[in-house]
């Protein structure tokens, strides 16, 4: 399994042509207390860079973008009852959705963990 | 990340950064949005005491002969009847009766001390100077910081830092009741303190010379029940308290009656009809406004925020002007304008958020009971 990161602060963990997507620890720390998360429906077609999910903190709503194009295979239902999972375990139990990738070559432009850390340190 | 090079600095700017605040631009100033997190700060204030820096607000002195009577052309409250040491919420009215700002007016015994919103303070000052007679001086005191200490434990904390009356035999701050104010001394520094605020809780607002603001903030935050609180929690606290935010829940297109502020139009002033927009405002008062600011309970967990349209079936009958998650309620709440035909408590409506309908129910405000230290209240 390989984990990639976007400059919009999503992570995507890929195994073959399947992947799990969430937001990074940095993203959740910037958003603050998460009170609502809306995940895409199973079967939804996502386009790289397009809207995929919504996360709302006390003060604002933010979009979560699709790191790559693909078809949603599962949404994290646990977030409906406990959106604070995104704060407590953003890169684990607070995942947003799983998808089947259209084109694994879209991963090429994403950052690895070291590159993402350098990116965040530079913000 | 926020670029704060364009923002003006307030007296406590560095103090906030040292306390770990995340700073944002608000009303042109760098201000703390949060320290530990909005949820924790909000709940702390409801249980203990929070210290808010509201130095961005405009602190004005209105001076001159019969200043109260002269100001009444521009506000609908009975300012002439305001005794020394008392304060009142009022509204600055444009020529058409639209609300240019909401403000707090205190009779200090020497002049009127007026606190206006930071985002419109320069407009307010220009408007007051242009519309008050030439013998009324409008002084903008930008040499003072303004702190708000809010919460059920605010009085205990304030009492402990050793604030003296301005003269022997005068009251101490905790002798004040809600909407009373007076002059005090702290380590020889003059403070203007009122028992008032914007959270629905008991509390105080403290005007302090800018050069002493840090020492005062440190002395207050040294009390175990006091933590610094950012603008994020200030907004969620005031929303739960049912208090409007100027520029969102009221603006120049709204009159005081539809803005749910008819209480601020004093009886004598209604009878005399001598204030800006009196015809429009008194007509709305007599006949009921065409639209009205109301509160909403939101079904489910998805917050409904400012500018979401409100529907009764297929017909849009209103718009949300403030909304978000309410930490003490434990659910989303909102405020907004609806047509008079649909403004009864308990009316079921829908807001549209990202193309989806969200059920709303018109709710009585405040959402959390006010906890003011009122004169004559049994507590």
Domain containing residue B33: CATH number: 3.30.1360.120
**What gap in Å lies between CA B182 and CA B281, rounded to an integer?**
33
Residue-level pLDDT at B4: 47
Ramachandran angles phi, psi of B350, nearest 5° = -135, 140
Q: Are B116 and B58 in contact (CB under 8 A)?
A: yes
B3 has a pLDDT exceeding 90 = no
Residue B255 inside a domain? The answer is no
Interior/surface letters B252-263, b for 16+ CB within 10 angstroms, e for the rest: eebbbbbbbbbe
Q: Do B149 and B40 share a structural domain?
A: yes
Residue-level pLDDT at B1: 42
Between B1, B324, B327, which is nearest A123 by CB? B1
**CA distances for B178 relative to B89, B164, B294, angstroms:** 12, 19, 25
Q: Are B51 and B229 in contact (CB under 8 A)?
A: yes
Confidence band of B181 (pLDDT split at 50, 70, 90) = very high
Distance from CA of B306 to the nearest CA of A (A): 10
Tokens of B284: 């709305």
Residue B208 inside a domain? The answer is yes
Residues of chain A contacting residue B38, judged by C-beta atoms under 8 Å apart: 32-33, 57-59
Q: Do B159 and B222 share a structural domain?
A: yes
Last residue of a domain, one of B225, B240, B255: B240
Residue-level pLDDT at A1: 84
Q: What would the mean pLDDT of B228-249 be, rounded to a whole number?
A: 98
Q: What would the mean pLDDT of B205-232 be, rounded to a whole number?
A: 98
Give the residue with greater pLDDT, B6 vs A9: A9
Residues of chain B contacting residue A38, judged by C-beta atoms under 8 Å apart: 302, 354
Q: Do B295 and B183 share a structural domain?
A: no
Domain that holds residue A22: 2-121
Q: What is the pLDDT of residues A4-62, one digit of tens each?
A: 999 999 999 999 999 999 999 999 999 999 999 999 999 999 999 999 999 999 989 99
Which residue out of B4, B231, B232, B235 would a mutagenesis test of the A interface target, given it has the greatest number of A Cβ atoms within 10 Å? B232
Residues of chain B contacting residue A84, judged by C-beta atoms under 8 Å apart: none
Residues of chain A contacting residue B239, judged by C-beta atoms under 8 Å apart: none
Is A36–B303 a contact, with Cβ atoms under 8 angstroms apart? yes
**What gap in Å lies between CA B345 and CA A60, rounded to an integer?**
27
Is B37–A54 a contact, with Cβ atoms under 8 angstroms apart? no
Residue B78 inside a domain? The answer is no
CATH number at residue B334: 2.40.30.110
Q: What would the mean pLDDT of B242-258 be, rounded to a whole number?
A: 97
The residue of chain B with its CA nearest to that of A28 is B37
Domains held by chain B: number: 2
**What gap in Å lies between CA B191 and CA B291, rounded to an integer?**
41
Q: Do B153 and B29 share a structural domain?
A: yes
Is A35–B303 a contact, with Cβ atoms under 8 angstroms apart? yes
The residue of chain B with its CA nearest to that of A84 is B39
Residue B120 inside a domain? The answer is no
Tokens of B251: 């603006």
Last residue of a domain, one of B240, B265, B280: B240
**What gap in Å lies between CA B155 and CA B196, rounded to an integer?**
12
User: pTM for the complete prediction?
Assistant: 0.95
Confidence band of B153 (pLDDT split at 50, 70, 90) = very high
- Give the residue among A89, A68, A98 at the shortest CA–CA distance from A5: A68
B282 has a pLDDT exceeding 90 = yes
Residue B117 inside a domain? The answer is no
Ramachandran angles phi, psi of A60, nearest 5° = -160, 160
Between B33, B40, B325, which is nearest A35 by CB? B325
Provide CB contacts within 8 A for B54, sequence distance 6+.
Answer: B118, B146, B147, B148, B198, B205, B234
Confidence band of B378 (pLDDT split at 50, 70, 90) = low
Rg (Cα) of chain B, in Å, rounded?
21
B379 has a pLDDT exceeding 80 = no
Q: Are B144 and B193 in contact (CB under 8 A)?
A: no
Q: Do B183 and B300 share a structural domain?
A: no
In DSSP terms, which residues pair with B295 in a beta bridge?
A: B335, B363
Tokens of B3: 């670029």
Domains held by chain A: number: 1
Residue B312 inside a domain? The answer is yes
Between B38, B302, B354, which is nearest A32 by CB? B38
Q: Do B297 and B215 share a structural domain?
A: no
Distance from CA of A16 to the nearest CA of B (A): 33
Q: Are B87 and B106 in contact (CB under 8 A)?
A: yes
Domain that holds residue B153: 4-55+143-240
CA triple B129-B132-B134, angle to 5 deg: 80
Q: Do B29 and B164 share a structural domain?
A: yes
In this structure, of B2-11, B34-43, B81-90, B192-201, the range with the lowest mean pLDDT score is B2-11
Q: Do B175 and B31 share a structural domain?
A: yes
DSSP readout, A29-65? HHH-SEEEEEPPPTT-EE-TTSEEEEEEESS-EEEEE
Q: What would the mean pLDDT of A87-103 be, rounded to a whole number?
A: 97
Q: What is the pLDDT of residues B317-339, one digit of tens each?
A: 999 999 999 999 999 999 999 99
Residue B119 inside a domain? The answer is no
Percent of chain B with pLDDT over 70: 98
- Give the residue among A37, A28, A97 at the shortest CA–CA distance from B303: A37
Helices B231-240 and B38-47 sit at what angle, rounded to 10 degrees? 60
ipTM value > 0.95: no
CATH number at residue A110: 2.40.50.100
- Give the residue among B234, B206, B306 at the shortest CA–CA distance from B35: B234
Q: What is the pLDDT of residues B26-75, one digit of tens each?
A: 999 999 999 999 999 999 999 999 999 999 999 999 999 999 999 999 99
Residue-level pLDDT at B377: 73
Residue B90 inside a domain? The answer is no
Half-sphere exposure of B183 (CA within 13 A, CB side): 15
The residue of chain B with its CA nearest to that of A26 is B1
Q: Are B231 and B31 in contact (CB under 8 A)?
A: yes
Is A59–B1 a contact, with Cβ atoms under 8 angstroms apart? no
Compute CA B309 distance to the chain's CA centroid, rounded to the nearest angstrom.
Answer: 25
């Amino acid at each position: 399994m390989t984990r990639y990161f976007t400059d919009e602060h999503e992570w995507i963990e890929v195994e073959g042509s399947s992947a799990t997507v969430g937001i990074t620890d940095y993203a959740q720390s910037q958003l603050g207390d998460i009170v609502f998360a809306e995940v895409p429906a199973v079967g939804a077609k996502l386009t790289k860079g397009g809207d995929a999910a919504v996360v709302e903190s006390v003060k604002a709503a933010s979009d979560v973008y699709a790191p790559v194009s693909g078809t949603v295979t599962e949404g994290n239902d646990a977030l409906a009852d406990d959106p604070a999972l995104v704060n407590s375990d953003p890169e684990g139990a607070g995942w947003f959705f799983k998808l089947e990738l259209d084109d694994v070559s879209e991963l090429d432009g994403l950052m690895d963990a070291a590159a993402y850390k350098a990116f965040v340190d530079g913000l | 990340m926020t670029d704060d090079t364009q923002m003006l600095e307030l007296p406590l700017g560095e103090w906030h950064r040292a306390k770990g605040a995340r700073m944002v631009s608000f009303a042109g100033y760098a201000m703390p949005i949060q320290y530990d997190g909005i949820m924790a700060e909000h709940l702390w204030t409801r249980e203990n005491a929070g210290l808010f820096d509201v130095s961005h607000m405009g602190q004005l002195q209105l001076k001159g002969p019969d200043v109260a009577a002269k100001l009444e052309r521009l506000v609908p409250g009975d300012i002439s009847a305001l005794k020394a040491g008392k304060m009142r919420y009022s509204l600055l009215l444009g020529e058409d009766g639209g609300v240019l700002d909401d403000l707090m007016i205190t009779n200090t015994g020497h002049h009127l001390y007026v606190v206006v919103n930071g985002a419109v303070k320069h407009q307010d000052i220009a408007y007051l100077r242009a519309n008050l007679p030439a013998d009324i001086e409008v002084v903008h005191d930008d040499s003072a910081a303004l702190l708000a200490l809010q919460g059920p434990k605010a009085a205990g904390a304030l009492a402990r830092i050793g604030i003296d009356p301005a003269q022997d035999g005068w009251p101490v701050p905790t002798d004040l009741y809600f909407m009373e104010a007076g002059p005090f001394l702290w380590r020889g520094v003059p403070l203007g303190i009122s028992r008032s605020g914007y959270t629905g809780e008991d509390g105080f607002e403290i005007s302090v010379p800018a050069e002493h603001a840090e020492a005062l903030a440190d002395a207050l935050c040294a009390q175990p029940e006091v933590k610094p609180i950012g603008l994020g929690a200030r907004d969620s606290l005031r929303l739960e308290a049912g208090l409007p935010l100027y520029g969102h829940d009221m603006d120049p297109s709204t009159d005081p009656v539809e803005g749910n502020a008819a209480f601020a139009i004093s009886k004598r002033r209604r009878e005399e009809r001598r204030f800006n927009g009196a015809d429009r405002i008194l007509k709305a008062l007599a006949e009921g406004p065409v639209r009205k600011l109301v509160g909403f309970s939101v079904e489910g967990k998805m917050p409904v925020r400012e500018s979401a349209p409100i529907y009764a079936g297929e017909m849009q009958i209103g718009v949300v002007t403030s909304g978000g998650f309410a930490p003490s309620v434990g659910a989303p709440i909102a405020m907004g304008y609806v047509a008079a035909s649909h403004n009864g408590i308990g009316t079921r409506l829908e807001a549209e958020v990202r193309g989806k309908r969200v059920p709303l129910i018109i709710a009585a405000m405040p959402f959390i009971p006010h906890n003011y230290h009122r004169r004559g209240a049994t507590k």
